[in-house]
C-alpha cells in the first residue's frame, strides 16, 4: 500500500469525522482500520467513504467478542477503486442492541444486515426488510448461531407456525410461478418466485440458503490445519480459491512470507480451476441455448482438464493443494510438461469449437440481449467477477489487490496508454447480456493459459512451505485474505483464537454478491429464458449458503 495514499485518505477522513473516531490504524500492509467512538456515526462515515472516497462495500463482518472483554464488533470493509487499499470501519454494538442500517445509502449492505440479524440477533435499525435470510422461517428467531453462547451440539426445535412472507406483486393479469427449491437434475436447491404478465417476467424473488452448512460456526475452535480442509469444501468447484484466500489471511496474521515456488504452484492451480470451470459453464450455456453438440464438445475439454487436475494434485477438483504456509506437493518436470501439453491441446480444440459456435447465428442470437444487466444495478449491488466485467466495470482482484505470485505476472495486459484507452473504450461496449458473459469466459480461458505458461516458464527452485507460519500466530489478531475465483472476488476474514484455533471466520464468496443480480437480469425476459440467464451468471448455491 502506498504510504502517501494512506496518509491522504487518513487526512480526508479525519477532516470530516475526527471527533467521532477514536483511532485510525494501518494493518496487514493494505488495511486501514477506522475505529469509531460509538455506532451513531456509522451511517455518516460509511456513506462518506462510499460516495466521497469512491469505495465499494465488499463485506460486513460481525463478531461476538464479549469473551475477550469487548462487545459485538461490526466491521464494514470497503475497497478503493484502482487502489490496493481496504478501508475497514469498526464499531462496537451492545448485546441485544441495534445498529443503524446503511442499506438505503449503500444498496449492497442490505443482505449483510439481514445475515447479521439472523446470526447475531442485532437489529439493523432502518432496514425495511428484516425477514429471515440464512435461517428459514422454521428456525426459532430467538436463537442466533454465531453468538459464542450457542452450542453447536444443541438440537434446536422447529417452529412450524411461521410462514415466509414473499413480496407481493399485484395487478391485472399478474401470475405467480413458484419454482423449486427442488429442481430437475443434480443441481442444488433454491426457490425462485416469478411474477409474470403472460410470458414476460416483471419480478423475481429468490430464496436461498437451503444448503446452509454452518461453515463459520464449524470453524470456531477448529485448528487452522483442519480449517483449510473446511474452506476447500465451501464449494467444491472453488476449492483452490477458497483455501488460497483462507491460507493468505492466516499467513498475513503471522507476518511471514511463503516460498515463491509455493506461490507459483498456487497460481497454476488457481488458473487450472478457472479454466475447467469456464469450460463447464460454456458447455452449460450451450445446453440451455439448445445446442447439445457444442455442449458435448466443450464437456470433453472440461473432462480433459479435470483429468489433468487429478494427475497434478491427486484430485479432479483440486482438493488438497493448499496448506498453511505453502502447498502440499510439488510440480515435477514431467508434470510441468503434462500441463503444458494438455492445455495446448485443449486450447487448440477449444478454438475449433468456438469457431463452430460463432458460425451458428441461431446460437449467437439466443444469447444476444438475453439476461441483460444494467451497469448501475451491477454497481449498486457491488457485483464482482464476470458479472461486473460484462457491463464494463473493470475489477479483478488479481490486479486490483495483487496477491501470491500475480504481482510478477502480466495480469494487466494494457501497459501502454494507447492499449489502456483501447481497453477502456471496449469496456463501454459491453452489453451486460449472456453473450457478453460468454465472450468474457472465452477471453479468460485464453488469459489463464498464458498465465500458466508464464508461471511455469520461470518456476523457482525453492521450498514448498514455510512451517514457521503456524508457530508465529498470536491470539485475537485478524486479517483479510482474498482471491479471484472463476466467479469473482472471494474474501475470507480470519481472527485467531487461543492455541492456534479460530475465534471467528467470515467467508464471502462471489456468489453472495452476485445472486441479487439475477433478479434484475431476468426482467422483461420470458420465463423460458431463465435457465440460460442463470447458467450465464454461473452462481453457486453452496458458495452462497455456506
User: Is residue 542, in this structure, part of any structural domain at all?
Assistant: no
User: Is residue 268, in this structure, part of any structural domain at all?
Assistant: yes
User: Is residue 46, in this structure, part of any structural domain at all?
Assistant: yes
Same domain for 441 and 510, yes or no, is yes
CA distances 342 to 239, 270, 311, 421, Å, are 21, 16, 11, 35
User: Is residue 458, in this structure, part of any structural domain at all?
Assistant: yes
Same domain for 203 and 231, yes or no, is no
CATH code for the domain of 63: 3.30.460.80
Same domain for 26 and 107, yes or no, is yes
All three cell numbers of 301, joined, read 475439454
Same domain for 294 and 379, yes or no, is yes
Same domain for 424 and 452, yes or no, is yes
Phi then psi for residue 108, to 5 deg, are: -70, -10
Find out whether 421 and 237 touch, Cβ atoms under 8 Å.
no
User: Is residue 482, in this structure, part of any structural domain at all?
Assistant: yes
Alpha-carbon distance of 76 to 329, in angstroms, equals: 37
CATH code for the domain of 308: 1.10.645.10
Find out whether 491 and 30 touch, Cβ atoms under 8 Å.
no
Same domain for 108 and 183, yes or no, is no
Same domain for 184 and 37, yes or no, is no
Counting the structural domains of the chain, the total is 3
User: Is residue 156, in this structure, part of any structural domain at all?
Assistant: no
Q: Nearest-CA neighbor of 270 among 250, 253, 245, 249?
A: 245
Is the omega angle on the peptide bond into residue 181 within 30 degrees of 0, that is, cis? yes
User: Is residue 152, in this structure, part of any structural domain at all?
Assistant: no
Range of the domain at 84: 3-125
User: Is residue 459, in this structure, part of any structural domain at all?
Assistant: yes
CA distances 230 to 224, 246, 322, 354, Å, are 10, 10, 12, 37
Same domain for 191 and 284, yes or no, is no
SS3 of 396-437: the string is CHHHHCCCCCHHHCCCCCCCCHHHHHHHHHHHHHCCCCHHHH
Sign of the Cα pseudo-torsion (133, 136, 142, 146, in order) = negative
Same domain for 199 and 265, yes or no, is no
Alpha-carbon distance of 157 to 141, in angstroms, equals: 11
Q: Tens digit of pLDDT per residue, the chain (546 long)?
A: 566 677 888 888 888 899 999 999 999 989 999 999 988 999 999 999 999 999 999 999 999 999 998 899 999 999 998 899 999 999 999 877 899 999 999 999 999 999 999 999 999 999 999 999 999 988 998 999 999 999 988 888 888 878 888 888 888 889 999 998 998 777 899 999 999 999 999 999 999 999 999 999 999 989 999 999 999 999 999 999 999 999 999 999 999 999 999 999 999 999 999 999 999 999 999 999 999 999 999 999 999 999 999 999 999 999 999 999 999 999 999 999 999 999 999 999 999 999 999 999 999 999 999 999 999 999 999 999 999 999 999 999 999 999 999 999 988 765 556 566 666 667 666 789 999 999 999 999 999 999 999 999 999 999 999 999 999 999 999 999 999 999 999 999 999 999 999 999 999 999 999 999 999 999 999 999 999 999 999 999 999 999
Determine if the pTM surpasses 0.85: yes
Pairing of strands 55-64, 98-100: unpaired
CA distances 526 to 51, 71, 274, Å, are 36, 49, 31
Residues 6+ apart with CB under 8 A from 15: none
Find out whether 526 and 533 touch, Cβ atoms under 8 Å.
no
Amino acid at each position: 500500500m502506498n504510504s502517501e495514499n494512506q496518509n491522504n485518505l487518513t487526512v480526508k477522513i479525519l477532516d470530516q469525522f475526527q471527533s467521532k473516531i477514536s483511532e485510525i490504524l494501518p494493518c496487514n500492509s493494505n488495511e486501514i482500520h477506522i475505529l469509531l467512538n460509538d455506532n451513531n456515526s456509522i451511517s455518516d462515515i460509511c456513506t462518506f467513504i462510499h460516495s466521497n472516497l469512491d469505495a465499494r462495500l465488499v463485506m460486513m463482518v460481525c463478531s461476538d467478542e464479549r469473551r475477550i472483554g469487548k462487545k459485538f464488533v461490526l466491521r464494514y470493509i470497503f475497497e478503493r477503486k484502482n487502489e490496493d487499499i481496504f478501508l475497514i470501519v469498526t464499531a462496537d454494538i451492545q448485546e441485544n442492541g441495534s445498529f443503524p442500517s446503511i442499506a438505503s445509502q449503500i444498496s449492497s449492505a442490505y443482505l449483510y444486515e439481514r445475515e447479521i440479524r439472523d446470526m447475531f440477533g442485532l437489529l439493523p435499525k432502518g432496514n425495511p426488510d428484516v425477514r429471515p435470510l440464512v435461517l428459514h422461517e422454521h428456525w426459532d428467531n430467538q436463537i442466533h448461531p454465531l453468538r459464542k453462547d450457542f452450542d453447536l451440539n444443541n438440537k434446536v426445535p422447529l417452529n412450524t407456525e411461521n410462514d415466509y412472507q414473499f413480496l407481493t406483486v399485484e395487478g391485472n393479469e399478474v401470475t405467480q410461478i413458484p419454482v423449486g427449491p427442488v429442481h430437475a437434475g443434480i443441481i442444488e436447491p433454491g426457490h425462485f418466485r416469478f411474477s409474470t404478465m403472460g410470458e414476460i417476467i416483471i419480478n423475481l424473488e429468490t430464496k436461498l440458503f437451503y444448503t446452509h452448512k454452518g461453515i463459520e460456526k464449524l470453524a470456531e475452535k477448529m485448528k487452522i490445519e483442519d480449517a483449510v480442509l473446511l474452506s476447500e469444501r465451501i464449494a467444491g468447484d472453488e476449492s483452490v480459491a477458497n483455501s488460497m484466500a483462507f491460507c493468505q489471511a492466516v499467513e498475513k496474521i503471522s507476518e511471514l512470507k511463503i516460498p515463491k515456488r509455493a506461490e507459483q504452484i498456487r497460481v497454476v492451480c488457481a488458473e487450472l480451476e478457472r479454466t475447467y470451470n469456464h469450460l463447464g459453464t460454456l458447455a452449460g450455456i450451450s445446453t440451455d441455448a439448445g445446442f447439445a453438440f457444442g455442449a458435448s464438445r466443450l464437456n470433453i475439454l472440461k473432462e480433459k482438464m479435470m483429468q489433468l487436475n487429478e494427475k497434478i494434485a491427486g484430485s479432479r477438483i483440486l482438493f488438497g493443494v493448499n496448506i498453511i504456509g505453502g502447498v502440499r506437493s510439488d510440480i515435477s518436470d514431467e508434470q510441468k510438461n503434462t500441463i503444458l501439453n494438455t492445455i495446448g491441446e485443449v486450447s487448440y480444440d477449444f478454438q475449433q469449437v468456438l469457431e463452430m459456435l460463432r458460425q451458428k447465428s441461431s446460437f449467437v442470437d439466443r444469447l444476444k440481449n438475453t439476461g441483460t444487466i444494467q451497469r448501475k444495478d451491477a454497481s449498486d449491488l457491488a457485483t464482482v467477477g464476470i458479472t461486473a466485467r460484462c457491463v464494463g466495470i473493470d475489477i479483478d482482484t488479481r490486479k486490483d489487490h495483487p496477491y501470491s505470485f500475480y504481482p510478477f505476472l502480466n495480469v494487466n495486459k494494457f501497459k501502454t496508454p494507447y492499449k489502456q484507452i483501447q481497453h477502456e473504450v471496449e469496456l463501454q461496449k459491453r452489453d451486460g447480456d449472456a453473450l457478453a458473459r460468454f465472450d468474457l469466459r472465452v477471453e479468460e480461458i485464453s488469459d489463464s493459459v498464458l498465465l500458466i505458461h508464464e508461471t511455469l516458464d520461470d518456476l523457482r527452485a525453492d521450498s514448498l512451505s514455510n512451517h514457521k507460519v503456524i508457530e508465529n500466530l498470536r491470539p485475537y489478531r485478524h486479517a483479510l485474505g482474498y482471491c479471484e475465483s472463476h466467479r469473482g472476488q472471494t474474501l475470507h476474514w480470519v481472527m485467531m483464537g487461543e492455541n492456534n484455533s479460530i475465534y471467528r471466520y467470515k467467508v464471502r464468496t462471489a456468489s453472495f454478491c452476485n445472486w441479487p443480480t439475477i433478479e434484475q437480469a431476468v426482467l422483461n425476459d420470458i420465463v423460458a429464458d431463465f435457465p440460460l440467464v442463470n447458467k450465464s451468471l454461473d452462481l453457486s448455491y453452496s458458495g452462497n449458503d455456506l
